Copies of this chain bind each other. A is one copy, B any other.
Amino acid sequence: MNLIVLHETDFIRPGIVRLTGRRLEHISKVHRAEPGQHLRVGLIDGDIGLGEITDLSDQYVELRVEFTQSPPPPPPVTLILALPRPKMLKRIIQHVTALGVKRLVLINSYRVEKSYWQTPWLDEGKLLEQCLLGLEQAVDTKMPQIILRKRFKPFVEDELPELAKNSLKLVAHPVGGEACPVDLGESCTLVIGPEGGFIPYEVEKLKEIGFNSVHLGPRILRVETALPVLVSRLFPAH
């Protein structure tokens, strides 16, 4: 927790927050903080600043907070990802959030097993929880938007063209295509397939609406490794 993320409901008076539960525990046990100490705080979807501990007990901690700077600018990418297996999903959501991605669409694909869509990790509350962990890690406050689309074809045909408008359209695919560009100067819609890759039909559907297939060289990476590699390669300055 490199940032204590605050919500409007944490305020007991203007400029004063009272925290309990997980954040209290982290402040007292991990930071081993004491009254007078300053911690980095951020308001969800708002600015970042410092909080001074004014009161600390077993029940709660109070901080006087002041916000002084904007959260880091996000990389201009919309990420479209074939739904990972439940075991990976949690970590991937944290990766995505920590990398600063602000729009994620989880889609179906031939190699996504139907059962993956049943996981409780897709519940809105659980997704928000993982995003929050990513923000706390990365010192960011802006929640990503996560969109679920269970049908590949209608999404690609009816929604994706509008979603990807005015951005460079890339699909990461280990076979064929060109080397993925480095340090894009423009916004990008990036599609990443499932473990095992998209089937040729799916790659074709994406190409039909203007997506270019790009690869990362001869090594085939797991989605979990490819994701940070791709985002940092496209937007090294973010």
Contact = CB atoms under 8 A, between A and B. Distances in A.
Contacts of A224: 95
B137 A72 contact: no
A101 to B, nearest CB: 11
A137 B139 CA distance: 32
**Size band of the A side of the interface?**
20 to 34
A190 to B, nearest CB: 14
A236 B233 contact: yes
A99 interface: yes
A215 B61 CA distance: 32
A225 interface: yes
A2 B233 contact: no
Nearest to A221: B98
A140 interface: yes
B100 A219 contact: yes
A225 B99 contact: yes
Contacts of A140: 219
A98, A225, A229: which has the most chain B beta carbons within 10 Å?
Answer: A225
A114 interface: no
Contacts of A225: 95, 98-99, 228
A217 B140 CA distance: 12
